[in-house]
Amino acid sequence: MKTSIKAFIFDVYGTLFDVHSLKKVCNDLYPEKGDEISQSWRAKQIEYFFLRQLMGNYEPFLKITHDALKYAIKEHHEQLDEQNEKQLLEAYLQLSPYPEVQSVLKQLGHKQLVVFSNGSHDMLDPLIQNSGLSNFFDYTISIDEVKQYKPTLTSYRHALDTLGVKREEVLFMSSNGWDISGAKNFGFQTAWINRNNLPTEELNLVPDSIYSDLTGILEWK
């Protein structure tokens, strides 16, 4: 039941923060290619942590983000010098929250609010601090603490153990269909923030709720 929720767990990239808000920096550095570089960067970032998880070859999210950037630049036949590299990686610490995020967090202030991400703390902590949202969250949980990327069972178990609640007392939110599938498979209640109006994944793990942005989750409060 919606009234049984004790912990609201938020994914970060694509859920709270727009990963493509760095398109402007990409376009400033690589005119007319910035949008494509941003898309390639994010796609390769996800692919690399999936591959590393499958291969048992863990690296923190910062390293994966760096490697994905290098690939994306090469894919689009550009050069990545030290200054551009530094500027682009720093842009990941300045991502823009989606417009509704602060208002939604304020309205959920009486609940336990948690960040749970594949991001490592050296990326998550400054991002949340720079956005002015850090005071809203009771916990910032990184999979780097167990070195098991979502959607592994171990990753979600780590979040649950940290919070000390029951699986069914968690509402897990993500814009990523694969993450919602993983959380549902683990036993969390799930709200898919379907910002891009995509079809549900064909994994027989249907989200409990689907919303176009985070304002929909207020019915769970």
**Residue of 220, 183, 219 lying closest to 201 (CA atoms):** 183
Whose tokens are 């929720």? That residue is 5
**Sheet strands (E) in 85-213:** 96-97, 112-117, 139-142, 170-174, 189-193, 209-211
How far apart (Å, rounded) are the C-alpha atoms in residues 173 and 78? 36
Q: What single string gives the DSSP state of each residue in 18-48?
A: EGGGGHHHHHHHSTTTHHHHHHHHHHHHHHH
How far apart (Å, rounded) are the C-alpha atoms in residues 214 and 156? 21
Query: Would strands 112-117 and 189-193 be described as parallel, antiparallel, or unpaired?
Result: unpaired
Question: Which candidate in 11, 18, 144, 179 is catalytic?
Answer: 11
- Inter-residue contact 58 to 143 (CB < 8 Å): no
Is 125 one of the annotated active-site residues of the chain? no
The residues assigned a catalytic role are 11
